[in-house]
């Protein structure tokens, strides 16, 4: 097991699970949204460009995302495998990733496809809080921090993403169904897709994912 994609709608729990799985397996966690938000914090041109799309809940253009991710996976921590979170989101992104990995003699080993009903997704997105410093994710409805507004892990302040309003969230779900769901069939055809129920305790979902990854490396 080397390169894993977490596929699923916004709010499915990709970031939450990728963080744990990365810690437990040593795979590098590569999250396109996190990279854009870091670029914005650093005041780069890339960050500013991405923000204009993110604020509307639209996808950042393929060539911009692809360039950023292909550069990221050249870094040394990615050599022993990557867990992709939020990328690819279009067929063109998927094809570009496959080509780049193919050139390195590797490929996508598994796609974990997380499913969660839409009404739950909206609540998860609207209630999401993220730690400014360590990136831990909470939810005011489902998964509150012990001390309001503060991270359980490191004590830093929590913030709400500016694109996590109900209106933008609905837009992002529409974009997901229009542009990203074709990837389900794409990976199904390749035989690499495993569906994971994204509801239930975070630890239960992690367990199901690790089991799916394990069963693969046993083959
Ligand atoms: P994604 O990266 O897919 O957009 P996140 O991992 O950021 O999703 O999770 C979205 C929100 O849902 C966060 O507030 C997170 O705390 C919460 N969440 C994640 N997994 C679960 C779960 N299994 N049950 C309840 N809430 C969850
Ligand atoms: P979520 O999992 O809640 O959708 P992300 O952090 O993955 O949040 O993405 C936030 C925003 O960043 C997206 O709405 C989009 O504007 C941009 N983005 C992230 N990843 C991609 C991608 N692979 N392709 C295009 N846009 C992206
Ligand atoms: Zn923290």
89 is known as an active-site residue: yes
Q: Render pLDDT for 130-170 as a digit per residue (tens, 0 to 9).
A: 999 988 999 999 999 999 999 999 999 999 999 999 989 99
189 is known as an active-site residue: no
The pLDDT value recorded for residue 215 is: 79
pTM above 0.95, yes or no: yes
The pLDDT value recorded for residue 137 is: 93
The pLDDT value recorded for residue 219 is: 53
Domain ranges of the chain: 2-116+179-218
147 is known as an active-site residue: no
Distance 137 CA to ligand 3 centre (A): 8
User: What 3 state SS string does the chain have?
Assistant: CCCEEEECCCCCCHHHHHHHHHHHHCCEEEEHHHHHHHHHHCCCHHHHHHHHHHCCCCCCCHHHHHHHHHHHCCCHHHCCCEEEECCCCCHHHHHHHHHHHHHCCCCCCEEEEEECCHHHHHHHHHCEEEECCCCCEEECCCECCCCCCECCCCCCEEECCCCCCHHHHHHHHHHHHHHHCHHHHHHHHHCCEEEEECCCCHHHHHHHHHHHHHHHHHC
Distance 20 CA to ligand 1 centre (A): 12
* Atom 16 (ligand 2) nearest CA: 54
CATH of domain 2-116+179-218: 3.40.50.300
The pLDDT value recorded for residue 2 is: 87
The active-site residue, picked from 19, 72, 89, 124, is 89
Residues of the chain under the 70 pLDDT cut? 1, 217-219
Instruction: Give the atom of ligand 1 at the shortest distance from the alpha carbon of 130.
Output: 14
């Amino acid at each position: 097991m080397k390169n894993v994609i977490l596929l699923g709608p916004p709010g499915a729990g990709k970031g939450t699970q990728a963080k744990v799985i990365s810690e437990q397996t040593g795979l590098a966690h590569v999250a396109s949204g996190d990279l854009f938000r870091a670029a914005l914090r650093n005041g780069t041109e890339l960050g500013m460009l991405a923000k204009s799309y993110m604020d509307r809940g639209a996808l950042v253009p393929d060539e911009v995302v692809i360039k950023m991710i292909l550069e990221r996976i050249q870094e040394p921590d990615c050599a022993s495998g990557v867990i992709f979170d939020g990328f690819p989101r279009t067929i063109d992104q998927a094809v570009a990733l496959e080509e780049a990995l193919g050139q390195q003699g590797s490929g996508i080993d598994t796609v974990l496809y997380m499913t969660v009903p839409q009404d739950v997704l909206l609540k998860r997105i609207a209630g999401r809080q993220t730690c400014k410093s360590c990136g831990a994710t909470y939810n005011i409805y489902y998964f509150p921090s012990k001390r309001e507004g503060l991270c359980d892990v490191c004590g830093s302040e929590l913030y709400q993403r500016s694109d996590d309003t109900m209106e933008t969230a609905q837009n992002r779900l529409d974009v997901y169904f229009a542009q990203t769901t074709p990837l389900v069939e794409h990976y199904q055809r390749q035989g690499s897709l495993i569906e994971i129920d994204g509801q239930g305790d975070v630890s239960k979902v992690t367990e199901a994912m690790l089991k799916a990854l394990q069963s693969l490396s046993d083959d």
